Amino acid sequence: MKFFTPPFAIVIGALLLSGCFFGRVPDSKYYMLDYVPAPPTERLKQGPYHLVLKVRDPTIAEAYRRTQIVYRQSAYQMQFYSFHLWAVDPDRMIGDLLIKHLRAARLFDNVTRSVESYSPDYQLTCDVQAIEEYDGQDAWYAHLAIEYQLIEEESGKVVWKKLFDLRKAVGQQQPVYVVRELSALLETMHDRLTQELEVAIEESEEDTTDTGSSPAAH
């Protein structure tokens, strides 16, 4: 038995197909974290400690290990933009800016990712726990949470540890402004990190002096 297809059904089907195949797909947009470090003059005048710091490759929570920018509207549900993407893995960008910031601050003689011919004096770890847009009822927010640890190489002792968990309202509800505020939050974290690392190094080097080893002076 043959079935007859009404002409209007053919027309509707053709329109649906043309919409599927000829509809415009939104262009993907790519974003970078970025800022220019501006260490205080007092820090630069003090000069570096005669120490080598190795910055380990950052780790990142699995939910944020992706190219899509993460956004959420509640504490229990995460969503991912389809066309708003990171140009570089977020943990890699954070690691690059961390090294750039510490080098600009001149806290150490050398800040590096790899030390091959000799051992560093300290290692710094970085664990990205959240990097996201949070859409509240009244405003959007940039949310960044990162935990850092400073480890003395010789003893393996953690001499400093801090979780920075910061949030900032976004002026305009567009992903580009979220990324801009995430960059500003990261700069704030790294400013505080540098200040606290200097105190931790002073205390660690004083402990080394008390135990009979020579300190690393400025």
- Tell me, what's the pLDDT at 2? 42
| Alpha-carbon span 15 to 218, nearest angstrom | 74
Smallest CA-to-CA distance from 178 within 76, 28, 32, 27 is with 32
Contact 141, 134 (CB under 8 A): yes
Question: pTM of the full predicted structure?
Answer: 0.84
Q: Tell me the CA distances in angstroms from 186 to 4, 12, 180, one per residue in order.
A: 65, 52, 10
List all residues 6 or more positions away from 174 whose beta carbon is below 8 Å from its beta carbon.
none
Q: 27-210 architecture in CATH? A: 3-Layer(aba) Sandwich (3.40)
Length of the chain (residues): 218
What are residue 78's phi and psi, to 5 degrees? -110, 145
- Tell me, what's the pLDDT at 5? 45
Angle, alpha carbons 43-46-51 (nearest 5°): 95
Mean pLDDT by 10 residues, the chain (218 residues): 47 47 77 96 93 96 96 92 96 97 96 83 97 93 98 94 97 94 98 96 75 55
Other beta carbons within 10 angstroms of residue 110's beta carbon come to 14
Contact 185, 144 (CB under 8 A): yes
